[in-house]
Amino acid sequence: METSAITSGQASPGGSADLDVPKLDVIVIGAGVAGLYQLYRLRELGLEVRVYEAGTDVGGTWYWNRYPGARFDSESWSYGYSFSPEVLQEWEWPEHFAAQPDTLRYLNFVADKFDLRRDIRFRSRLVAAHFDDKTDRWTVTFEDGHKDSARLLITALGPLSAYTLPNIPGRETYRGQAFHTARWPREGVSLKGKRVGIIGTGATAIQCIQTIAREVGSLTVFQRTPNWAAPLHNRRITPEEQQTIKASYAEIFERCRQTSTCFIHQTDPRNALDVSPEEREAFWEKLYSEPGFGIWVGNFADVLTDKKANELASAFMAKKIRERVKDPKVADKLIPKDHGFGTRRLPLESGYFEVYNQPNVRLVDINETPIERITEGGIRTSAEDFAFDVLIYATGFDGVTGPYDRIDIRGPGGRRLKDDWQGMPRTFLGMLADGFPNMLMVLGPHTARGNIPRNIEEIVDWLSGLVRFMKEHGHRRVETRRAEVDRWVAEVEQAVEGLLFNEVNSWQTGVNRNVEGRQVRRILGYYGGALAYRRRIEAVAVGGYRELRFD
């Protein structure tokens, strides 16, 4: 291996005996879709890399989220890694929208194929990462007290890994089985014939509810905010389709490169308000009958930006709910009133609304009858005591910054990232945090996000290019420049102007009512589109990273 400034730095700060590999170049945190690919790319650079992962195996999101019904909302064949022609030809997705076990199998397949596990240490939850200004190295500490040190720290934490439990009194008193969907037991949970309560009606809950409703004895859904949802239209991939898919990967990924969300769906250039009601209705009927996110990100151009157009789209979706749910009162409860169609991440469903026609399923609107507490036996609302054998918390995540908040990350002079990010995070391109040298982030705040693996590949490639540049130029340290961060933050702020989603509370706008201090909306992504983001980051790389400071 060549020697470079990245590799030739002094041993770890403090010389602590339990520091693992004194000459480690890079520590990557997380062995999900991002961490695995980052490891692959860093190995190509001939660097000493170690990945640390809290779980017992690879997979990240797809390792943790094993709840019944968990699956892609992106077309499987547009979701997998694009970097390896061999993987593309060898792997076969069974369904157009793969279920979680298949995705986990896929990530294991990739890990095995490239022998990635030999550089991954599992069961290692990071609790602290401190930067030493004198040695330009990060020291990381894990839950079990183990420490390690490296020149560069790359965080591949996942934007939705910090799950949150509901802040309802009495949770600890409950005597039955209770699970957050993101911590569903590996061995599964038998729900057959059981009395089940579920809190939440987001994308996760919708998948879970529609799946378990068939087998449970009774299901009570506690809904605070209904969400718009559209049909997924999933089905198995036929052998002929498999062949076509394998022959078309270049076009599939090129298409993803051309859309603002990196899904295969392209926004329609027409405005809903410029076409006749008949044309509008016919287009929406078509989108409603087609698989995937077309109805969300392939809709008329003005649906997510113009209130009037959005109201029309919402009315169309409300009509569909009324058609599918027999009891008009229940249908009305399932229709969102406080946010327009598509202004929160759209859940895709398979028979979700029809579940409420089943006699064993009950919808409880907790705005009408608020939950007072969780009891030993179940849930007490202002109107009733419910008894459950199993309680499911489908209560979501402290999105994007939550995973960072849970680690004691300190830069030079003990500066705490958590303090810095209380309000609007300050990043450069979402990949470097202002004031935290040698920390590189995959899918940190202010990156473009849509079809996640597409975003990940782009970011990992960019970060790997930066690391290569450092190696070639003998740089030991990289950090942001204040003026460039100011400029990027301004671009991020400008990009959300006029977007209706920015006026709505959701994890995407940084709101989580279960987390102290997370009641105020913040901008957590770059919403100027993947093409603009790509242009911007590529220009920085091509220009020799002049926006960054190196030592």
Query: Under the rule (CB under 6 A), what is the footprint of ligand NAP?
Result: 71-73, 160, 166-168, 199-205, 207, 224-225, 345, 366, 394-397, 507, 513-514
Q: Which is nearer to ligand NAP, 11 or 496 (CB)?
A: 496
Q: Least CB distance from residue 172 to ligand NAP, whole Å?
A: 15
Minimum Å gap between C-beta 10 and ligand NAP is 42
Residue placing its CB nearer to ligand NAP in the complex, 271 or 514: 514
Within 421-551, where are the H helices? 452-473, 482-495, 530-542
Of 15 and 169, nearer to ligand NAP (C-beta) is 169
Compare residues 150 and 321 and give the one whose CB is closer to ligand NAP. Answer: 321
Least spacing, CB of residue 93 vs ligand NAP, in Å? 14
Q: How many residues does the chain have?
A: 551
- Which positions ≥6 away from 369 have C-beta within 8 Å? 381, 382, 383, 384
- Torsions phi, psi for 153 (to 5 deg): -115, 120
Nearer to ligand NAP, 183 or 487 (CB): 183
HSE toward the beta carbon, residue 252, CA cutoff 13 A: 18
Helix residue ranges per DSSP H, 45-189: 61-64, 76-79, 85-90, 100-113
Answer for the pair 464, 431: CB distance below 8 angstroms, yes or no: no
For the CB of residue 32, give the shortest distance to ligand NAP in the complex, in Å: 13
We find the least distance from the C-beta atom of residue 181 to ligand NAP, in angstroms, to be: 6
Question: Over the range 412-440, which residues count as b (16 or more CB within 10 Å of their CB) and which as e?
Answer: eeeeebeebbeebbbbbbbbbbbbbbbbb
Q: Which is nearer to ligand NAP, 297 or 466 (CB)?
A: 297
Judged by beta carbon, residue 255 or residue 513, the one nearer ligand NAP is: 513
Tokens of 527: 């919403």
What sign has the CA pseudo-torsion 503, 509, 514, 519?
negative
Residues 520, 510: Cα–Cα separation, whole Å: 7
Q: How far is the CB of 513 from ligand NAP (least distance, A)?
A: 6
Report, in Å, the least distance between residue 207 CB and ligand NAP. Answer: 6
Question: Minimum Å distance from CB 226 to ligand NAP?
Answer: 8
Q: Which residue is nearest to ligand NAP (CB)?
A: 202
User: For residues 209 and 132, what is the distance between their CA atoms, to the nearest angstrom?
Assistant: 48
216 within 8 A of 191, measured Cβ to Cβ: yes
Residue with tokens 């209705």: 281
Closest to 456 in 3D by CA, of 424, 430, 474: 430
Backbone angles phi, psi at 128, to 5 degrees: -150, 145
Order across the sheet with 218-223: list the strands: 177-180, 390-393, 195-199, 218-223, 361-365
Only one residue has tokens 């590949």, namely 457
CB-wise, 406 or 536, nearer to ligand NAP?
406
Nearer to ligand NAP, 184 or 300 (CB): 184
Nearer to ligand NAP, 228 or 507 (CB): 507
CB of 121 to ligand NAP, least distance (A): 27
- Residue 412 CA to residue 495 CA, distance in Å, equals 31
Nearer to ligand NAP, 446 or 468 (CB): 446
| Residue 512 C-beta: closest distance to ligand NAP, Å | 7
Q: What is the DSSP letter of 504?
A: S
CB 550 within 8 A of CB 473: yes
Token pair belonging to 24: 């480690």
Distance in Å, CB of 352 to ligand NAP, minimum = 12
Rounded to a whole number of angstroms, the minimum distance from the CB of residue 371 to ligand NAP is 6
Return the number of the residue (123 or 406) whose C-beta is nearest ligand NAP.
406
* Smallest separation, CB 304 to ligand NAP (Å): 15
3-state SS, residue 210: helix
| Long-range pairs of 533-537 with CB within 8 A, sequence gap ≥ 24 | 533/447, 533/448, 534/257, 534/448, 534/458, 536/429, 536/491, 537/429, 537/431, 537/458, 537/459, 537/462
Compare residues 139 and 210 and give the one whose CB is closer to ligand NAP: 210
> Closer CB to ligand NAP, residue 55 or residue 412?
55
How far is the C-alpha of 440 from the C-alpha of 444, rounded, in Å? Answer: 9
* Nearest distance, CB of residue 307 and ligand NAP, angstroms: 21
**121: its two tokens:** 């240490």
